[in-house]
Structure 1
Amino acid sequence: MKSKLYSIVCYFCWLPWFCQAQEANIDSAYIDFENAMAAVVESIDEGKLQTGLRQLKELENVAANLKTKRDLALAEVYSRQTTVLDDLGDFDEALRYVDLVRLTLKGREPEEFLLRTYIEEASIWSKTGRYELVMPNLREGLRLARRAEDRFYIGRFNRLLASYAVDSRDSIPIWLERAQVALSNDENKGEVLEVDMTWVRYWYYGGSFEKVLEVLRPHLEMCVVDSPPINCRNISFYQAVSLDTLNRMEEAEYWAKLGVRASKKFADPRHLRNSYDLLSWVQYKRGKMRAAYDNLYEAMALGDTIFRDNLENALADERVRQNVAAAEEDKLAAEVKAELLTARNRLWIGLALALGLLLAVGGFLLVQLQRARRHLSDNNRKLAALNATKDKFFGLIAHDLRSPVVAFSGVGEQMRYYLEKEEPEKMKRLAERVEQTADGLSGLLDNLLNWALLQRGMIPYQPERVCVAEVFAENEQLFHEMAERKRITINCAAAPELQAYADPRALSTVVRNLLSNALKFSETGQEVKLMAKAEGDRVLIEVIDAGTGISPERLEKLFALEKHSTKGTAGEKGSGLGLRLVGELVELNRGEVSVSSEPGLGSCFRVRLPR
């Protein structure tokens, strides 16, 4: 009796421990399965598809013997086999495993591997040309993902719908925006990046390269590190192509080089060939011919490698159906063909680069010749203009400088005659004429000297703040006697604080010539106004008279150099140089000069200078 009681007590004491041990063993078996699956996935990701498929067959038996989570484990194995078979091109077998996943998970809530079958099936329909089945398949997967409230797969299905929506481009942004909303709080950055890359392709094929750069910007940082992730192959490629299209060549070359680096890291010959090809093109456009040739050579060499790899794969498949001798013969022929293709490609590359270099040199020489011709033509025009100016200048000297000198030649004789005759009134009138002639000669010489210095670029230009009222007062005093002789009133109006930013001597010369002209062409008893006022960031100076005015024909060439000047109302002579000098001095001081006039009503000269 005691023995039985002891047995019962022991049974109930050890039972909980035994159950826990059994559960631990079950969980341990599933963990071992998951670890083995992780190793298989890593092998598949490295491109070892046949090895991965064989390992998945072995794991299928392991999953079938699990005590718990058996269906989930089998669904995972079937789903992985579907992916590998799809990549190997065995689409019928892949579709069979799609059906196995759905049969295994039938009646359960949508699991990850069930949702993945719709993605794999859509891929198969696309590769086999049955495009009409792709979109309905993805929409059904999206419906199930929404029912399961799986935000990750909602985002993924929306992205894939956008990727396959080739016939309805307008709907692509809608799918992608929905994908972004679904993935807004998702921690899977990989799928978020896939959505952005789908945006990139959408903007890229739409020609919106600025948008491509905008979408890629948040992901660029991870591609400039020493060990970039695999996604940087496509990121760098699209970044470089977009920058190239936008003619930002230096940046394009930088990202093309990063694309080459990323492709080298992951040993992807197709990506690497495309990256070298792009880098060669960018360097060619930047004029780096040697580097462009080297990278183009690398691209062609990779193309040959890929070509050989494809041939070898084809030969390996053929060897299964034919004997070894025939397969070896085909391989030898393929290698010869590849070598011939390589030699031909090198020849074409050499010819293309030589032709490109010849065109570049020819284009450069043509541009230089055209520049030289334009320069020579400009110099000829300037020389012709200088010769014409020289002729006019000597004409001025011959005409206007000779007349005062001739007038002075007879003054001594007249003075002796009037002294002998004791005629003081005539002596006084003679003295006034001498003074008038001397003043005119002095003004002429001043204008000739200033104009000559301007033509040689030697006139000093030292701008400063100049009080306009002081310049008016100085010139009013200078022409006081001339104004009194013609009984002309000079009225000045300028605020004492008004200042112009100009060279003081140049500003005084401008006012002096304009005031001289106004007095010269004003009738006796008339008024001449000197006015100045602020006008925004400029100072407006106006010289207004009510004299003879200027005809429209003369207005057109008023500031040109003339051989003969018009006489004033009292017979005053000029050089024809004053207004030309005014125009050039105003231009030198960053200003503008204009005139309005009507014959018989007078003229108004306006000068605008910086404040």
Structure 2
Amino acid sequence: MTYKSFLVCILFLLAQFLGFAQTVNQQKDSILAHIDTVETKDKVLLYDSVSRLYWDINPDSSLHYAKLAFDFTKKTRDKLSIGDAYNSLGNAYFALGNRDKALENYEKSLQHRQEGGDKLKVAYSLNNIALTYNEQNKYSEAINAYKEAASLCNELDQYDDEALMLIGIAETYNIINNKTKALEYAIKAASLFIHIDNKYGLAVASNLIGYLHKDLNNNTLALEYYKKANQLYIELNNSYGIATTINNLGTVYDALGQNDKALQYYQLFLQMAIESNNASLQGTAYNNIGFLYSKTKQYDKALDAYNKSLALSQSNNDSLSIMNTNNNIASTYLKMGQYNAAKKYVTTALLYTPSEPDLYFLAESHEILSKIYSAAKDYQKAYYHQLENKRINDSLFNLKANEQFVEMQVRFETERKEKEIELLKKNDEIKNLKLQKQKNANFLWIGILLLFVGIGIIEYFNLQQKKNSNKLLHEKNQQLEIANKKLIESEEHLTELNATKDRFFTIIAHDLKNPFNALLGLSELLNKNFNTYTKEQSKDIAETIHETSQNLYKLLENLLHWSRAQTGRITYTPELLPLHKVVKQEIELLTTLSEKKGLKIINRVEESLVVYADINLVSIIIRNLLSNAIKFCNPQGKITIAAAKQDNMVKVKVNDSGIGMSQNEIDKLFRLDESFSSKGTANEEGTGLGLIVCKEFVEMNGGTIYVSSQKDTGSTFTFTLPTSKRPVNG
């Protein structure tokens, strides 16, 4: 290493650490003092380091020095220096928020670094491109760029950088709500950090894994990883990391209902935020404490904490925190019955307009106002704010649906790209075989000319080699056919996914709309004619509203179960459980519904019968099948649930004395691509989604489901469950 190169390295280290003792201008002057003593390509690096100093405090200055770095590249043809200058310009435009210009310069940087042959810098450019794609909501492209960067880092044994790329992939999957995939890559990153003994990286990965487990309601695992991250930050003496994980632990204990422990961690987090003089963290801590006190009905303490949080948010001019805290204060006053005070704070909250992803704060404000006006018996205003709350929540639901569609799109694009890469590899292998074949033929003619005497021997070996090559070529062609077949299957799977999506939105658009129209119409009718209706008329309408609400709730519940099953967010936790007890509990839940039609439900499941399955999924299966039987059973009819063990499975039968089905109707059951639903014996509405959910959950437990039925004689739904641990479908 030359003296000048060594000097550049020292200056880079100074650029990283001088901030603890000097101002940015002093750091800049210290670096530029050596600008005339280094080579042209090193001048590019020095101006780049100055540009980095201004990222957060003055992006325009950052761009100025990045352009100076680029100007020096005109004096050199060094590809890597030009690549570094383009990368510096990309960083400056990114800091300015100009994502298009940032991407343009990052792509030029990538091209020059590829031509310069520096694979590690190529990986860094790909990482920057991935970051920019994420900002542009191009998540499939971001994931592919991260994966390519991670692959290069792995090839170079740069495991620290590879792990960071894996963290980027995990965070991108988290953005599109694919928590399972995000968890997979976060765990891969953690494994790499363990392998190279990088405590800080492991702390970051563990904290992310804890967050993902909490989002998936795996609170026990979330606690484990948050504690691991906290311990690592303590060993590293990283105060910000310690404070963050302390707060995260408080949120998990809060979710688990362990209020004393949650409060202990929130107060410790507050103490650390005060010691570090971080107003933003203090505001978060006071808000969490206030929320906990409000939940435990300690309203005066809650208001004290919220007001401190509000003061800090106002001093920071943090509009989102101000809106959230005003809502929290209003909600607390509402619980206390102090409606004027509640109205004052929620009205203040409405002065702020959140961005689209944070609209739930606005929805919360309208919900609070609806309750305030309802308590004041101003039902017209209460109804208006209730409608506003519903409108905003519908908008948020559409955003969520779009996220799920983006997730499916990213999944397809990633699979398609992988198939294309595999196909290209197979084509390259075939081309290489053809080239090898031609090469062998050339060697043959040279051998004939030079060694005429050995023609027979050479011809023999050549024919043998040709035969082997043709055999290998045939094998490769077969592999190519298999690859093409898999690609076709992938496209068919995408078609099925699109059909599933279309059916899902059809259910939302049609089957949710009608019950809501009925509810709105009946409630409006009751509201307008309340004083003129007799008590019996009002009661009839109220009963109709109640029944419609129950049906709507069942539909929403089945939609939620089906959606979670499709996106892999259902945690399958099998255990040995008494089937008789589960059936008994579900019968008791539906007693009111069955008694209304005079139905008798008989539990013939033996008390000693045990199955190995997830209790939550089995409960939903039995509940949906019983609800279906009640719907189609004639008044004063009978429903029987029986079970019997066969080999390693238990066969459960739900039989009703209802109206039955034709074979054509049976063929349409359990299929999302067939819109089949009929009214019950008391004109009950339905979508058929409950049976689809049953099929999904039965198969998740390793069983099967089918139905036998005849018109006017009733139906029997039969499903199976394992009696012991065994591999399951899926």
TM-score bucket (shorter structure): 0.3 to 0.5
Q: Which one has a bigger Cα radius of gyration?
A: 1
TM-score (norm 1): 0.47
TM-score (norm 2): 0.40
